[in-house]
Amino acid sequence: MLEELERKRAELMREVHAVGAAIKAYAKTIGNGHAGVVKRGRTTKLGKKRTMSTATKRKLSLAAKARWAKINAKKG
C-alpha cells in the first residue's frame, strides 16, 4: 500500500512539474514572462507596483498620528 501511494505521489509530482513548465512556456510566448508569478506587495496585471499620491500618504500619516495621540492620551 505504501509503495503504491509513493508511486502515485511521484507520478503527480511529475505532472505538476510538467504543468508548471507548460505555464512558463506559454507565458513566454504571449510576451509576459511574469505570468503566474506571485510577487510580494500589491501589483497591477503588468507587475508594476501601485503608487500612492502625496496627498493620500499625508492623510494616512495624519490619521495614524491621531490614533497614536488618542492611545497615548489614555495612558496618561
pLDDT on residue 27? 82
pLDDT on residue 51? 87
Cell of 51: 503608487
- Residue 10 carries which side chain, given as an amino acid letter? A
Question: In the structure, what pLDDT confidence band is assigned to residue 28 with cuts at 50, 70 and 90?
Answer: confident
Strand partners, 49: 43
pTM of the model: 0.38
pLDDT on residue 39? 54
Flag whether pLDDT at 6 surpasses 90. Answer: yes
Calculate the alpha carbon distances from 21 to 11, 31, 49 in Å: 16, 16, 26
